[in-house]
Copies of this chain bind each other. A is one copy, B any other.
């Protein structure tokens, strides 16, 4: 769902049996509550009612609200769109930052991301799940830096994960600490800066 098209919701287009449909309904309800009200308002009984799923099923399968957030983040990572290959580091990073920007600028998705980040600040299991989500996203995009190194666009020894994180970081910082617009200019600037710093050797691993 996340980093996918904004209108796509968990499970709406996915095949699967009853178990998959139950999971999709529950995760959609959880994402709704997180986006609309935040982590503090997440309640398993309420989620069961919204998802029209038995309370016992929800408690048995997810156990706690943290367990539910962790599963939502797993689903978000699995539903993420694959990376774009444009043939240049700047093009690839720009595709990445525009995807992040569109996701965070979407009111529902932006609110959902704020909510899971907030949950992670006060709950170690949610933090671990969030780290897993970002780790998967960074892993998925890291090859664009490896390819850029192979093409000679960036110095050998450039840390691909640092470059990918550097491209996203300004957009999250903008979302969380400013009221500035999260627009395409911000996305392009973040990509341009990460590419320029990478070319200049800022992300070469220490020997």
Copies of this chain, tallied across the complex: 2
Expressed in whole angstroms, the minimum distance between the Cβ of A5 and any Cβ of chain B is 22
The digit string for A117-141, where 1 denotes a CB below 8 A from any CB of B, is: 1101110000110110011000000
Q: Are A192 and B185 in contact (CB under 8 A)?
A: no
| CB contact between A189 and one of B127, B172, B185, B202 (< 8 Å): that residue | B202
Expressed in whole angstroms, the minimum distance between the Cβ of A66 and any Cβ of chain B is 14
- The B-contacting residues of A in range 37-69, CB under 8 angstroms, are 38-40
Interface size class of A (residues with CB under 8 A): 35 or more
Expressed in whole angstroms, the minimum distance between the Cβ of A35 and any Cβ of chain B is 11
Contacts of A192 in B (CB 8 A): 197, 202
Is A150 interfacial (CB-CB < 8 Å)?
A: no
- The B-contacting residues of A in range 1-52, CB under 8 angstroms, are 38-40
A189 and B162 contact, Cβ closer than 8 Å, known pairs A38-B122, A118-B118: yes
A177 and B173 contact, Cβ closer than 8 Å, known pairs A189-B202, A193-B197: no
CA distance A162 to B134 in the complex (A): 24
A residues whose Cβ falls under 8 Å from a Cβ of B? 38-40, 114-115, 117-118, 120-122, 127-128, 130-131, 134-135, 162, 165-166, 168-170, 172-174, 176-179, 185, 189, 192-194, 196-197, 199-203, 206
CA distance A118 to B116 in the complex (A): 10
Contacts of A127 in B (CB 8 A): 179
A165 and B173 contact, Cβ closer than 8 Å, known pairs A40-B122, A117-B121, A131-B178: yes
